[in-house]
Structure 1
């Protein structure tokens, strides 16, 4: 994506003053600084706000390819194979995805109705979702939240798994 140079230069001169002069003075409090920045951003045009958001994401390393720094954490960087089994037990999975793998064609309508009860989907969206089998119906559920849904769908004739 190419951003016009003129719009980028306008970002650096918010409200007609160079950006360096509009930054926090020694006497300005943190709240005043944040309010001033919010007011300046609010006064930008839509194109300037878009350019600003692109520039902000780029400066923060949040582009479409993910975070700029994706390295190993301190526990993985140690390289010891003996402690990895203990770490895996400590980091036990707490969030699960509910995945519909297959279902009986005769129970399709009942399954669609049940999917609508635990998702906020309309009839059409729930039908399209169920027809995309295999599909994740709900993400980041706890074990306690997933069990009743899992039992109900299995009772209706669906094959459902927690991932």
Structure 2
């Protein structure tokens, strides 16, 4: 009897616990959203809060990426996924998608292809700011930022 009783109690507790979750599930985070980085001001971040960058050697009109091979390992393209990009605090008309030669759908803002920086290991970091004089965090209007992140690591808060 005790052997049967314990599994039944476990199932009841699990069922009750799942019923206590939020009444309305949260929707997915926007692909592009505004983040504040100390020393840079407002920048664009991805759905995980990672700073997004633009590359001065790319083209915004027409949108074209010049970062592939080893460059794309250090600067992974911001993956757009299969749907149209969503925004939070950013003009949706500036958001777009570029299809790279390898078939990856890359997010764009104001026509500029967007990237993450491999050395940014947590949300709110901006270690890629100014790298090689060609990589810059992108502002919500699609322009590059020119400041220097506090402590070389960016701030956290959005």
- Whether the TM-score (by the shorter chain) exceeds 0.5 is no
- Which has a greater percent of helix? 1
Structure with greater Cα Rg: 1
Report 1 or 2 for greater relative contact order, CA contacts < 8 Å, sequence distance ≥ 6: 2
